[in-house]
Amino acid sequence: GQNIDQPTEMTATEGAIVQINCTYQTSGFNGLFWYQQHAGEAPTFLSYNVLDGLEEKGRFSSFLSRSKGYSYLLLKELQMKDSASYLCAVMDSNYQLIWGAGTKLIIKP
Amino acid sequence: DGGITQSPKYLFRKEGQNVTLSCEQNLNHDAMYWYRQDPGQGLRLIYYSQIVNDFQKGDIAEGYSVSREKKESFPLTVTSAQKNPTAFYLCASSISPDLAQPQHFGDGTRLSIL
């Protein structure tokens, strides 16, 4: 079967760095997406990885290892507005997105 | 501004009633999707459409129906056969159904049972 695993909840301090992990097993692979979702709002696209390595975009970076079925989202210089759920999604061989349950990130002052 | 508009934001359904959730996009995207989001679970695909006048069942299509008569519009009907409809419903679109492009989401409709 297809499966995406990510931690349910994480807590970090304002100004610090946090790494949110995602492991996956899917039927085929056409890339991995990270989305941010504030409570009661729509998910918004953060990053896309299809090749191994690190993609950096401002304070956010995303890493992929296809051989290990593993990705992480790295958030630097955390701000209170980064409190949200972070969703990992893998695009399978049929170009359908398989979604993880999301990681709720709590930022403390 | 281009985007996806879902309405209403909140919806209440009575027993035995069908309700329709609206989704309109002006992004000129070919593909559109309906997801259901429940607490503690990932987004689950209800239906998707790759082109006008065509749509496919997703993982949890039972109790739901859709239509795609226009490229811009992809309404979802929650029928009385859906016994547990309380959830957050998200509509999304993407440029093409067979390209690795991100999906863009509307603001969602929260459906509850009266």
pLDDT tens-place string over residues B12-49? 988 889 999 999 999 999 999 999 999 888 899 999 99
Residue A90 predicted with pLDDT over 90: yes
By Cβ distance, the residue of A43, A91, A102 closest to B105 is A43
Higher-pLDDT residue of A32 and B99 is A32
Phi, psi of A26 (to 5 degrees): -140, 165
What is residue B95's predicted lDDT score, i.e. its pLDDT?
A: 92
Query: Environment class of residue A68 by beta-carbon count within 10 Å: exposed (0-12), middle (13-18) or buried (19+)?
Result: exposed
What is residue B98's predicted lDDT score, i.e. its pLDDT?
A: 83
List, in sequence order, every residue forming a beta bridge with B59; answer none if it has no partner. Answer: none
pLDDT band at B1 (very low <50, low <70, confident <90, very high): low
- pLDDT, average across residues A22-39: 95
By Cβ distance, the residue of B44, B102, B107 closest to A42 is B107
Helix count and strand count (H, E) for chain A: 0, 11
- pLDDT, average across residues A83-100: 94
Minimal Cα–Cα distance from B83 to chain A, Å? 23
Residue A1 predicted with pLDDT over 80: no
> Measuring CA to CA, which residue among A29, A32, A3 is closest to residue A92?
A29
Whether B104 has its CB under 8 Å from any CB of chain A: the answer is yes
Distance CA B97, CA B101 (A): 9
Minimal Cα–Cα distance from A100 to chain B, Å? 5
Which residues in chain A have their CB less than 8 angstroms from residue B44's CB?
Answer: 99
Residue B93 predicted with pLDDT over 80: yes
- pLDDT, average across residues A40-54: 95
Over the range B88-112, which residues count as b (16 or more CB within 10 Å of their CB) and which as e?
A: bbbbbbbeebeeebbbbbbebbebe
Residue A107 predicted with pLDDT over 90: yes
SS3 A82: helix
What is residue B69's predicted lDDT score, i.e. its pLDDT?
A: 97
**Distances from the Cα of B76 to the Cα of A67, B34, B72, angstroms:** 39, 8, 13
H or E segment at A99? strand A97-99
